[in-house]
Structure 1
């Protein structure tokens, strides 16, 4: 079993909680209110803006070959295109992003990621990026086959079940496993911790959106 499979196995209840969360099940059955999905997309925009910046920042601390992969992933996941279409359909504008504060859970998740980079090490930061790729790919692959009655929500699942996103996820998995294999046992433990905490924040992110969390 490789490093990432071991880490996911260690957090399996948390991982499964994302699949079972009412936000996800309501997306699947089409009952999630559009204003709740709209809130999610605005907060996800805040997170993905930081996520992209983190790819850039982390790459500066990696060996050249690994940095190249991470930068290419930042350009090639296709999430911006996916999100832009959804924003347009729901009438989400730049003003909405500018005037909606980052919610507490999103703020904590972003802060966790920067902590891994600035206070732990870049290897842990790379591991902390992985759950966002891997969990969305698995949720998308699982639920795209089951079909949501609401086209907007089906498009969300389809996007993360796409060949392009699957390829990006597999490249990220390979990068993280390669990084772990080249690291000391202590650093591997730090990577596992960063992965675990990101998986927890992914689960909390759904709840944040479901309750439209405010400060």
Structure 2
């Protein structure tokens, strides 16, 4: 069993917790409060701006042409999603550009992006891409899981369709292959560090949706 299959099985309880979260079940049902989705989409816009930077760093550090191409393309797509899907949702849910620009990252958003930035700045390339992978893989699993359950019409259908699209699954497969290849060539210590990065990033995935559902803000 390869690295990705092993760590995916290890984080199965986290994945079940994500799929069971009311943010996602209510999103599929079309009953998620618009204020919670508004919180999510603004924070996700802030997240993707930083995620694109991390992907660009991964591209620069990648030892292979395949890695440089994949992560540079991923950075471009992250910006395109922010500019396209998010801007459409901003209009739909009444978020002005000035409003979005004035929002601070939530504790969960800042924690997640800061963690990825710390991997990019201070850890190995192998750990970095293991930390990058959950944002692809968890969203792909979520999109595929909730699409069959989603009501129609659904105000959140474009979001669901984006992450259940075959093209997103193909991108996930390519990143997973890069992580598996890196793990196969790594020492046991580096593989352990990769597993830790994957686990932490997956925890942050749950925290991000939970923070949006609760419309988290700074306590003081």
The bucket for the TM-score relative to the shorter chain is: over 0.9
- Match of 2:3? 3
Distance 2:30 2:194 in 1: 37
Take 1:96 and 1:67, find their aligned partners in 2: how far apart are those partners? Answer: 35
Deviation at 1:150, TM superposition (A): 4.9
Name 1:75's counterpart in structure 2. Answer: 76
CA–CA distance in structure 2, aligned partners of residues 193 and 70 of structure 1: 21
Moved over 3 A (4+): none
8 Å CA contact 2:30–2:150 kept in 1: the answer is no
CA distance in 1, matches of 2:123, 2:141: 28
- What's the CA shift for 1:205? 0.7
The 2-side partners of 1:169 and 1:24 are apart by 20
* Pairing of 1:6-85 with structure 2 (within 5 A): 6-65=6-65, 66-76=67-77, 79-80=81-82, 81-85=84-88
> What is the alpha-carbon distance in structure 2 between the residues aligned to residue 52 and residue 130 of structure 1?
13
* Matching residue within 142, 149, 158 for 1:139: 142
1:194 matched to which residue of 2? 197
Match of 1:158 among 158, 161, 179: 161
Partners of 2:77 and 2:110 lie apart in 1 by 25
Shift of 1:18: 0.6
Tell me how large the CA RMSD over aligned residues is. 1.5
Gaps of 5+ in 1: none
Q: How much does 1:20 deviate?
A: 0.3
Separation (CA, whole Å) in 2 of partners of 1:148 and 1:50: 32
CA distance in structure 2 between the aligned counterparts of 1:97 and 1:178, rounded to whole angstroms: 39
Identify which range, 148-157 or 76-85, moves more after superposition.
76-85
- For 2:204 and 2:182, the matched residues in 1 are separated by 22
- Whether 1:109 aligns to 2:81 is no
Q: TM-score, normalised by structure 1?
A: 0.94
